[in-house]
Amino acid sequence: MLCVGLDPDPSRLPSSLNQEPDGLQKFCRRIVDATAEYVCAFKPQVAYFAASGREDDLASLITYIHEHHPAIPVILDAKRGDIGSTARLYAQEAFTRYAADAVTVNPYAGEESVLPYLEYADRGVIVLCRTSNTGSDWLQKYPSIYPGIEPVYLRVADAAARWNTNGNVMLVAGATFPEELGAIRARVGDMPLLVPGIGAQGGDLRSVITVGCDSRGAGLVINASRSVLYASDGPDFADSFAEGAADAAREMRDEIRKLQSELAPDRAVV
């Protein structure tokens, strides 16, 4: 259930790669090859490529993953959210230009901002529901101060369940809010959840497994980015970053399996 997020910060890349025109892509390819046997998905973040005009590198990276690791889906972390006519183009960008297997979307503009993605019945649509960042409460938990009125994140969960007619909808539910993660799981049944916030953001893996697994003891795509990419950060980083990433991914994969067996031994799917 481990997903490795590909968020290549140029300031943290080995200097030797930073000096190469395709250094960002080479860094990600080595991470992919080193961690592929431990993951269920890869999740490249668009901004880390687009900010420096490297969208073509992103497209090439996704093509590389599909060609060299065809069993592993690619989640394009774009968090797109706009009115219907624009959303249609964003969906085309994600699924045609980049050939991503799934994309993250923001439902704030309403149903019309999500429906164009759902027209691609063979692709995943991952809807922001309860994000892992600490500043999200002001909107996602509103109006929690009023008894009997459901917060926004549960309204999103209900809507996602309605939209899931093709079985291709997921929800983002942050590891940093395990109580809300459990509430989302209770609301949407066995719908898969993308769970950011483990690792650098401090989410607790045990809590996620305890409240987040579906009826089969699975149903989670648990993302780790910086804690894997820069696991060997130090003087020898240029020579060991891929090996360090592999070690970190293997350790997290093994910990997930251990917790599955411990917390849901009759349902664990490994």
Task: Give yes or no for residue 163 having a pLDDT over 50.
Answer: yes
The Cα 134–Cα 180 span in angstroms is 13
Domains along the sequence of the chain with CATH: 2-263 (3.20.20.70)
SS3 at position 174: coil
Query: Which one of 26, 79, 141, 258 is the catalytic residue?
Result: 79
Quote the radius of gyration of the chain (alpha carbons, Å): 18
From 6-15, 59-68, 72-81, the region with the lowest mean pLDDT: 6-15
Could you give the residue ranges of the DSSP H alpha helices within 97-151?
115-118, 137-140
Q: What is the pTM of this model?
A: 0.93
SS3 at position 203: strand
Contact 185, 154 (CB under 8 A): no
The string of pLDDT tens digits covering residues 83-127 is 999 999 999 999 999 999 999 999 999 999 999 999 999 999 999
The strands making up 75-80's β-sheet, listed across from edge to edge, are 41-44, 2-6, 220-224, 193-195, 169-173, 124-130, 102-105, 75-80
CA dist 141 → 51, 135, 146, 180, 209 (Å): 31, 11, 11, 9, 22
- Count of H-run helices and E-run strands, the chain: 12, 8
Query: Annotated catalytic, 79?
Result: yes
The string of pLDDT tens digits covering residues 228-258 is 999 987 766 777 899 999 999 999 999 999 9
